[in-house]
């Protein structure tokens, strides 16, 4: 998909914004993340999580680093002890 095609799908006036996002000079606005995800054929929640990981790594770490451990069943943790 070209930058112009993505800009059209997401309702952007200028495709150059897509280039700015690709090069780390701009961010996908929070209110537009679902539209961008759907335009790219991605699941919106996972897309938002990925963006958060790059945009706010410390917040991502605080929110999700322990997520795998929390999701692990208690019985599995007991068996490891």
| Encoded tokens for 56 | 């706010």
Q: Is residue 25 part of a domain?
A: yes
Q: Is residue 73 part of a domain?
A: no
Nearest 10 degrees: CA dihedral of 60, 66, 70, 72?
120
Name the pTM for this structure: 0.75
- Specify the pLDDT at position 69: 52
- pLDDT tens by residue, 14-45: 999 999 999 999 999 999 999 999 999 999 99
Contact indicator for 13, 42 with CB cutoff of 8 Å: no
Q: Is residue 32 part of a domain?
A: yes
CATH number at residue 52: 1.10.260
Alpha helices in the chain (DSSP H): 3-10, 16-22, 33-39, 44-55, 57-64, 67-71, 74-80
Q: How many domains does one find in the chain?
A: 1
Q: Which domain holds residue 33?
A: 3-68
Q: Is residue 20 part of a domain?
A: yes
């Amino acid at each position: 998909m070209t930058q112009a095609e993505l800009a059209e799908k997401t309702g952007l006036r200028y495709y150059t914004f897509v280039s700015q996002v690709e090069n780390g000079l701009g961010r996908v606005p929070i209110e537009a993340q679902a539209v961008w995800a759907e335009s790219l054929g991605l699941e919106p929640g996972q897309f938002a999580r990925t963006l958060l990981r790059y945009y706010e790594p410390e917040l991502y770490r605080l929110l999700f680093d322990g997520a795998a451990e929390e999701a692990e069943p208690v019985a599995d943790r007991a068996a490891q002890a």
